Homo-oligomer: A and B are copies of this chain.
Amino acid sequence: MDANPILAEAVRGNWVENRHRGAFIIVDADGGVIASGGDVARPIFPRSAIKSMQALAIFDRHAVDRFHHSAEELALACASHHGEDEHVGSVAHFLERMGLSVADLECGAHMPTNGKARAALRAAGTAPSALHNNCSGKHSGMLSVALAMGVPTQGYVEREHDVQKAVRAAVEYVIGEDLTEDRCGTDGCSIPTWAAPLRAWALGFARMATGKGLDAGHAAGAQKLFDAATSHPHLVAGTGHLDTLVMQAFKGRLMQKGGAEGVQCGAIRDKGWGYALKCDDGNMAASHAMVAGLLLKYAEPDAAQQEVLEQFAHQPTRNVRGAIVGEMRAVAF
């Protein structure tokens, strides 16, 4: 099998220091390929990039009829949030509204992604809780599914729990592929992650963006989730993050979500296209350069949107004293 193409590179001074290979694909909801590069048939773990797809279980299992999730709660269900006050407070409220608390979360605790939030916790001498975990909104959404299904919440992260079966079924339905035990792992937040071909993830996003190929319930749920995420981009990630800045700039035209280990997925909603991208080596900054390159070329950005994307297509790198000594940049788009 040929190597995937180089899609980003890191330059130091006047010389290329690192090369980042990857594959990408943009498709319409019928699976028609708009653009692609590299091996798009290779199954990849989508990680957090498909939280919006996993959140379809909220609609599938009628949790939404019981809890009437707000747009903010749906955005948090799609989020890898940065543990800023707004995120932590909103997730705590979401849980409280369901009669649950932080003790019901099984994602584990980690320090907030946001630097100021980390410093504030340290200054207060407080350990992070599961609320600070970037996945706590997704887990709250999953807990709402457990309650709506009338099953015990305990163990909801396990592969054989009814909640994860519901999530798996929703994802399989949208991408039109089986998720199989021979290509499965455990995500950072302890739920299963399933590998599927890159082109299947892109197709799923195109279907969610258009409703094509989906029944009315899934189509409506997908639209509500994308509307929620794109109208509350700060809840989906956090201050200064690509997902937040790009969705703010595109004002609803674009659903964009990163996942660990260099995954980027989303939909150019007004075109009805889904896209998926994976950096072979898992480097996040490189995957940011790649998706910025992709969106600059294919998302028809206006001047303000271009400016935001250029920050990620050409990321300056600095040395210890703060001098710019190179850049991470998109190539081949």
Contacts and interface: CB of A to CB of B under 8 A. Distances in A.
Interface string A121-159: 010000000000100000000000000000000000000
A19 interface: yes
A103 interface: no
A228 interface: no
Interface stretch (A49-57, A278-286, A290-298): A278-286
Contact of A108 (B2, B19, B320): B320
Contact of A190 (B15, B183, B320): B320
A43 B182 CA distance: 40
A268 B187 CA distance: 39
Interface stretch (A6-14, A69-77, A89-97, A238-246): A6-14
Contacts of A2: 3
B320 A12 contact: no
A282 B18 contact: yes
A321 B108 contact: yes
Q: How many copies does the complex hold?
A: 2
A107 interface: yes
A31 B326 CA distance: 32
A18 B261 contact: yes
Residue from the set A12, A133, A282 with the largest chain B CB neighbour count within 10 Å: A12
Given A108-B320, A190-B323, A320-B133, A185 B20 contact: no
A264 interface: no
Q: Is the interface of A mostly helix, strand, loop or mixed?
A: loop
Q: How large is the interface on A (under 10, 10 to 19, 20 to 34, 35 or more residues)?
A: 35 or more
Contacts of A34: none
Contacts of A133: 320
A325 B157 CA distance: 14
B281 A45 contact: no
Nearest to A18: B282
A13 B200 CA distance: 20
Contact of A321 (B184, B190, B280, B281): B190
Contact of A14 (B20, B184, B188, B325): B184
Contacts of A21: 3, 21, 281
A262 B15 CA distance: 16
A193 B15 CA distance: 11
A62 interface: no
A325 B15 contact: no
A17 B185 contact: yes
A326 B185 contact: yes
Q: Which of A13, A14, A262 has the most CB of B within 10 A?
A: A13
Given A12-B193, A17-B185, 8 more contacts: A13-B185, A14-B183, A18-B280, A21-B281, A108-B320, A190-B319, A190-B320, A190-B323
